[in-house]
């Protein structure tokens, strides 16, 4: 999600100068940031639509005083500052408006929104995975976390990564950020391709049904239908190949942690293999115990 840094800063400048109608400027500012505010609890903390709307209204009431505090003389992007502000506002929002909820912002709250049976299964899987990951050595564990779950990295992991990969914390944080962005883009790409595959499958089912039902019709129509089916199946197969293709963007960002792409590949492959063996051993042990 983008925020127009220059435009927003100009509006804030006008707002602070007090020379123009504050109400109008605040309205323009609201238009610039409203989607960002509304989506903040959902994207950053996986909260549902109720919390998003309530939080949106909560911030909107305070927008004037929030904007007042933006340091215009500093060389800082508005969105960086705004993320910190929204995070604090969300903490306050939970504290004042939802006293029955946990005060600390946690992604785990999302589990409450998932039906019990799904949640229990998910929890078990994540536990097994985390247990498996903890059995790996530090570099291997960090490699897998960075590559597959960069948003799950915790402060201690970042510190360890800085030591293990011999980079500054600032560099490690930048890599984590790029990886989260690349992963999200990859997920969106896969979703779009899946949607298209779904549409092709629907068309194919319709065409095949038409072919089956119209078995008595002449050969020319049947031929046309068969050609259409073949074309659609080829397009669908192309999309499936595209979806299964390795994710180059994530790998490119990830390889910044290592000396070169070859070392990166080798490290990732070894860590994955070791984790698979650990998980299989755990599974076998559980089965034997049962």
Partner 1 sequence: MFGCGKFSEIELLKYLEGSKENLDVIEKHLKECPLCMKEITELNRVSAIMESGRAEPLRKKAFVTIFAKNQDFEWVLPSAGTGRIELLPQTRTISGRRIKKAVYTIDEIPANLEVVPVQEDTFWVLLRSPELSSSEAILRKKGSLKPIYSISPEGPEVIFKGIGPGEYEVYFREYVIRFNIKVEN
Establish if 189 lies at the interface with partner 1 (CB under 8 A). no
Q: Which is nearer to partner 1, 139 or 158 (CB)?
A: 158
Q: Please say whether the beta carbons of 132 and 279 come within 8 A.
A: yes
Secondary structure (3-state) at 247: coil
Across 213-236, b (16+ Cβ under 10 Å) vs e yields eeeeeeeeeeeebeeebeebeeeb
Distance CA 214, CA 95 (A): 66
For 146-192, give the DSSP string.
Answer: HHH-GGG--HHHHHHHHHHTT--HHHHHHHHHHHHHHHHHHHHHHHH
Q: Which is nearer to partner 1, 151 or 217 (CB)?
A: 151
Residue from 7, 20, 43, 198 binding partner 1 (CB under 8 A): 43
Establish if 101 lies at the interface with partner 1 (CB under 8 A). no
Least distance from C-beta 143 to partner 1, angstroms? Answer: 18
Residue from 5, 7, 68, 84 binding partner 1 (CB under 8 A): 84
Q: Please say whether the beta carbons of 48 and 42 come within 8 A.
A: yes
Q: Which is nearer to partner 1, 75 or 260 (CB)?
A: 75
Tokens of residue 94, six digits:
């939970």
Q: Which of residues 153-182 bind partner 1 (CB under 8 A)?
A: 153-156, 158-159, 162, 168-170, 173-174, 176-178, 180-181
In the complex, the residues that contact partner 1 under the rule CB under 8 A are 1, 34-36, 38-40, 42-44, 48, 50, 53, 56-57, 71, 74-77, 79-81, 83-84, 87, 113, 150-151, 153-156, 158-159, 162, 168-170, 173-174, 176-178, 180-181, 183-185, 188
């Amino acid at each position: 999600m983008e925020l127009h840094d220059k435009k927003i800063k100009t509006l804030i400048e006008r707002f602070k100068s007090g020379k123009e109608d504050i109400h109008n400027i605040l309205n323009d500012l609201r238009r610039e940031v409203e989607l960002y505010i509304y989506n903040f609890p959902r994207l950053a903390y996986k909260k549902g639509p109720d919390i998003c709307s309530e939080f949106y209204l909560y911030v909107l009431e305070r927008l004037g005083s929030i904007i007042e505090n933006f340091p215009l003389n500093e060389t800082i992007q508005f969105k960086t500052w705004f993320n910190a502000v929204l995070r604090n506002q969300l903490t306050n929002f939970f504290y004042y408006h939802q006293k029955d909820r946990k005060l600390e912002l946690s992604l785990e709250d999302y589990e409450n929104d998932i039906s019990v049976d799904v949640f229990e299964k998910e929890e078990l899987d994540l536990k097994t995975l985390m247990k498996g990951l903890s059995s790996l050595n530090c570099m291997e564990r960090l490699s897998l976390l960075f590559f597959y779950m960069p948003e799950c990295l915790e402060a201690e992991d970042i510190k360890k990564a800085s030591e293990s990969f011999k980079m500054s914390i600032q560099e490690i944080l930048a890599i984590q950020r790029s990886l989260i962005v690349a992963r999200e883009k990859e997920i969106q790409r896969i979703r779009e391709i899946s949607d298209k595959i779904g549409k092709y499958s629907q068309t194919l089912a319709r065409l095949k049904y038409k072919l089956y039902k119209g078995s008595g019709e002449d050969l020319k129509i049947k031929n046309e239908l068969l050609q259409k089916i073949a074309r659609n199946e080829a397009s669908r197969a192309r999309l499936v190949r595209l979806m299964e293709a390795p994710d180059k963007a994530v790998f490119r960002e990830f390889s910044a942690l290592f000396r070169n792409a070859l070392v990166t590949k080798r490290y990732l492959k070894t860590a994955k293999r070791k984790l698979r063996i650990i998980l299989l051993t755990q599974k076998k042990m559980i089965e034997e115990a049962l």
